[in-house]
Structure 1
Amino acid sequence: MTIRIVLADDQAMIRAGLRMVVESEPGMEVVGEAADGAEAVALARRVQPDVVLMDIAMPRMDGLTAARRLLDAPRPPKVVMLTTFDTDENLYAALRAGTSGFLLKVSPPEQLVEAIRVVAAGDGLLDPAVTTRVIASFAGRHEPVRPPQLAELTPRELEVLRMLARGLTNAEIARELFVGEATVKTHVARVLMKLNLRDRAQAVVFAYESGVVTPGSALG
């Protein structure tokens, strides 16, 4: 199955470079380009991509605002934020908005390709070490709030949520629990549904902000 991608960046040269990398990879197709956030939202709603590579700093509408609007749609794409600056504030804001991850524009081509595959498949975190570190750092600044929907999780689902917070892939969770990947996929889907979360990146944010895990306890 071909992964359909929209590129959103206000610099034409950046878009051209991204397109060159993406279209040199089998199973990937660029289905549109946008030069600002508002254009990205309109384009993505029209062409229904699987993944949007979204610059954070754009005119008219910034990338985070555009991402939030796209992710509020009934069938949202996966959104990966692109930035020049490796700042924890940007990453945390992007993850809380419901994006699937964060990528530096200077990342090597193979990292870009792998990021697209990871978020399109939905079975792993984009750069789990960075993601869990940043979420733990920011979530630890506030008292955890335990939402009532946590009571809906079974003990096994709660265990899976803790493993998601460690950044484990479905395959890694399967090995730890001695079950098949299909079983893990079902558990993850139920966790996301019961907690009303879009993807596993939001599950990590939820796990820390609700106190299911605490900074330091889920890392490693």
Structure 2
Amino acid sequence: MVREGVKSALADLGDALDIFEAEDLDGIYRLLDQGIDLDLILLDLKMPGMKGIETLQALKQAAPDVAVAILSAYNHRNLVQQALDSGADGYIPKASRKEVMLNAIRLVLAGEIYIPSLLLSADPAEETPQEPDKPAPHPFNLTARQQEIFALMQTGLSNKEIAREAGCTEGTVKAHVTAILKSLSVTSRAKAIALKWDT
């Protein structure tokens, strides 16, 4: 029933869409073994055969050229972050409206990372009052980690090179870049780098 609902929603992406279904993880690998040229895998972390994030990592290794977006009812911030850190190209909560899901899929198919709003918004539980001797917030509300990534972006490094310098995965860098562009209200990396402010 869930797959039928997803198929119905995906029909709005266009008539040229070919959809292949898999009821478990083995079914996904069978599709890959058939040599089908897939553009995107919509993956449920709780589908039969899945063993959490480790399985996602294995799937990305088996099909490195295929985008993988998580479609899940589990919306815990830590789980979303783990999935993105492990190479997921997007994390779409099942509670999302159809338009949100379709826009997320379009973004992933365009080679970008989709980050749900729950991860981009501040977590009140993690916030602490700012002490007087701490530096003032960044003008564009970038986190300390995002400032570090952005500083590396300004040197002209690629995402792969930034990942090596920052000691994280390339998927994590992509997620940070997407969040940075959103915070800066720009649509491209070049426009973000062109911005200037006093630090």
Shorter-normalised TM-score: what interval? Answer: 0.5 to 0.7
- Root-mean-square deviation (CA, aligned residues, Å) is 3.6
Equivalent of 2:81, from 78, 92, 107? Answer: 92
- 1:157 matched to 2:157? The reply is yes
2:116 and 2:30 mapped to 1: Cα distance?
31
Question: Percent identity between the aligned chains?
Answer: 22
- 1:168 matched to 2:157? The reply is no
125-134 or 27-36, which deviates more: 125-134
TM-score, with length taken from structure 1: 0.56
1:127 equivalent in structure 2: 115
1:55 equivalent in structure 2: 44
1:41 and 1:100 mapped to 2: Cα distance?
18
In the TM superposition, residue 88 of structure 1 has moved relative to its aligned partner by: 1.5
In structure 2, the CA distance between the partners of 1:109 and 1:28, relative to structure 1 (3 Å rule), is: farther
SS at match of 1:81: strand
2:158 and 2:64 mapped to 1: Cα distance?
26
In the TM superposition, residue 102 of structure 1 has moved relative to its aligned partner by: 0.8
Aligned ranges 1:160-199 → 2 under 5 Å: 164=177, 166-168=179-181, 171-178=187-194
In structure 2, the CA distance between the partners of 1:133 and 1:157, relative to structure 1 (3 Å rule), is: farther
Unaligned runs of 5+ in 2: 127-144, 146-151, 163-172
SS at match of 1:32: coil
More strand by share: 1
1:178 and 1:78 mapped to 2: Cα distance?
30
CA displacement 1:146-175 (0-9 Å, x = unmatched)? xxxxxx998222799587174427833222
SS at match of 2:99: helix
CA contact (8 A) 1:70 1:77 kept: no
- 1:72 matched to 2:61? The reply is yes
Equivalent of 2:24, from 17, 36, 46? Answer: 36
Structure showing greater radius of gyration is 2
Q: Aligned partner of 2:22: which letter?
A: A
In the TM superposition, residue 103 of structure 1 has moved relative to its aligned partner by: 0.9
In structure 2, the CA distance between the partners of 1:63 and 1:33, relative to structure 1 (3 Å rule), is: farther
CA displacement 1:130-155 (0-9 Å, x = unmatched)? 44569xx99xxxxx9xxxxxxx9982
What is the aligned length? 152
TM-score, with length taken from structure 2: 0.61
1:153 and 1:106 mapped to 2: Cα distance?
34
1:74 and 1:127 mapped to 2: Cα distance?
21
CA contact (8 A) 2:181 2:192 kept: no
